[in-house]
Structure 1
Amino acid sequence: MTSQNMPSEENAIDVDQTDSSIATDTVAANDSGANIHISADNGVDLADIFEPYFRPDANTIVCGALDDEKVVALAKAGVELVINLQPDDELSFDEASAVEQAGMHYEQLPISGAKELKQLKILAFDNVLRQHHGKKVAMHCGSGNRVGAAIALRAGWLRGRKMDTAMERGRSHGLTKLEQEVHNRLLVPR
């Protein structure tokens, strides 16, 4: 796990998150000094299972594509909701069934790429997050990039965050290759 995947002390708590349980989360330090949330995950070390892996706060996990083993790990870690931003043609197994059989709720909001980063998609994404506020959530796409893009656009368009704040929120959730596209979209008033 690289240090860029872990939030800085200053950004460790999601400014949109009001769940006070975050402040009492026990955080352990690994050999490289990066913070990991093992105790909050029922002893499951998700950082060893997922690559890429982003942990912007105690209740949010962002990762790449899932498989059966990763779904089981998320369930053991106490995840209550899995949000999949991959379209069906990117999936290699019946993810919805696997997630539901593992006892978690499943939402799929396919975003194929930059062309689908539209306000209606971000509104639907926001709606799912609001419906499950305070729950432990795993969000994924192929690499975390689309999740980060959706989070940044949500922060800018729907939460009124300044450009720098919205972009940092996106990066903490996996935004990489779509960074310029998201920046350009945030420049356009909504």
Structure 2
Amino acid sequence: MGQPDHEDLQALARKGVRRVINLRPHSELNWDEAACAATCGLDYINIPVATPADLDRTHAAALREALQGDAHVLVHCGTANRVGALLALVAAWDWGHSPESALELGRRAGLAALEPAVRVRLGLPLD
């Protein structure tokens, strides 16, 4: 998902979402999403992914940990590109997916422009 607004967070909370994981760095935010999430009764976690260099094992581990538990979760950035990229890496590095399967999962989650960086990290050829 791309960037939610206040109304989106309220609607998601009504639908059972309990945690918001934002992959955007603070420099990209023009509002206090954490405060808004809190007023909606949502847990809020920020894992800033600013550049392709942030697609690393540290950020992947942070996302994996944030996804643990049985809460319904929203993971977002500005366009879902970073969501797909980091999910692909978590799938390959931590969940046992093959690189090809992880890449497909990432695409379904929004991976687009960051695909070459993900391919390199997964040891896949650049198309």
Question: TM exceeds 0.5?
Answer: yes
- Map of 1:59-78 to 2, 5 A cutoff? 63-78=1-16
Matched, 1:81 2:41: no
- Map of 1:152-167 to 2, 5 A cutoff? 152-167=88-103
Give the TM-score, by structure 2 length.
Answer: 0.92
Task: Report the counterpart of residue 111 of structure 1 in structure 2.
Answer: 49
The one-letter code matched in structure 1 to 2:76 is: H
- The CA distance in 2 between the partners of 1:96 and 1:106, in whole Å, is 6
Secondary structure of 1:166 counterpart: helix
**Divergent runs of 4+, >6 A:** none
Deviation at 1:113, TM superposition (A): 2.1
Task: Report the counterpart of residue 80 of structure 2 in structure 1.
Answer: 144
| Higher share of residues assigned helix | 2
- Map of 1:1-190 to 2, 5 A cutoff? 63-130=1-68, 133-187=69-123
- The CA distance in 2 between the partners of 1:66 and 1:91, in whole Å, is 11
Question: Between the two proteins, what is the percent identity of the paired residues?
Answer: 40
Whose relative contact order is higher, 1 or 2, with alpha carbons under 8 Å and at least 6 apart?
2
Deviation at 1:174, TM superposition (A): 0.9
Structure 2: gaps spanning 5 or more residues = none
Secondary structure of 1:126 counterpart: helix
Structure 1: gaps spanning 5 or more residues = 1-62
Deviation at 1:145, TM superposition (A): 0.5
User: Radius of gyration: which is bigger?
Assistant: 1
Give the TM-score, by structure 1 length.
Answer: 0.63
Contact (CA 8 Å) 1:82, 1:104: kept in 2 or not? yes
Deviation at 1:78, TM superposition (A): 1.4
RMSD value, Cα: 1.2
